[in-house]
Amino acid sequence: MKKYVKLLGILAAVGMGVFLLIQLIPYGHNHTNPPVVQEPAWDSTQTRALAQAACFDCHSNETVWPWYSNIAPVSWLVMNDVEEGRSNLNFSDWPLAPGEGAQFAEEIIGEVQREKMPPFQYTLIHPLSTADRVKLIEGLRLSLK
């Protein structure tokens, strides 16, 4: 029994050492929010507020960086989600020419309708009710035409 307790202690120490070492990896610690260039012409403040709550952390330059986004390996996951999200759709760098946003509208709305967006890991901490999802979809439909 003592042998197992000792082994468990060694494993815990090694695990803690690895956890501390991965904190030195710089990826995931540079939390920058570039300036907002242009947003869509939101149909209402309610639609913008719903989009802000459900989408902006990954799909805008207004990301709110929670405390856990500073602790690896979670920081790596958060940074990856933000980088990927901004590269696919950025509400803070919206197309400038009239009508350019329309090409994204149906794709964005479809992702929200199919509950692919916001993703499961995000809704665990930031839930989106069915009623708010319906309001968001309608607001996106009106705003992104």
Q: pTM of the predicted model, to two decimals? A: 0.83
- The span from the CA of 137 to the CA of 145, in Å, is 12
* Total domains in the fold of the chain: 1
Flag whether 39 is in a domain.
yes
Flag whether 17 is in a domain.
no
Flag whether 108 is in a domain.
yes
pLDDT: which is higher, 107 or 57: 57
- The span from the CA of 137 to the CA of 121, in Å, is 20
At 52, list the tokens. Answer: 């802000």
* Segment 15-67, tens digit of pLDDT: 788 887 778 887 788 898 999 999 999 999 999 999 999 999 999 999 999 99
Flag whether 23 is in a domain.
no
Flag whether 98 is in a domain.
yes
Structural domain boundaries, residue 99: 28-143
State the sign of the Cα–Cα–Cα–Cα dihedral 70, 73, 77, 83. Answer: positive
- The span from the CA of 30 to the CA of 8, in Å, is 35
Q: Are 34 and 85 in contact (CB under 8 A)?
A: no
Write down the pLDDT at residue 33: 95
Flag whether 3 is in a domain.
no
Q: Are 43 and 137 in contact (CB under 8 A)?
A: no
Flag whether 16 is in a domain.
no
- The span from the CA of 123 to the CA of 42, in Å, is 23
* Segment 110-133, tens digit of pLDDT: 999 999 999 999 999 999 999 999
Q: CA angle, corner 41, sides to 38 and 42, nearest 5?
A: 120
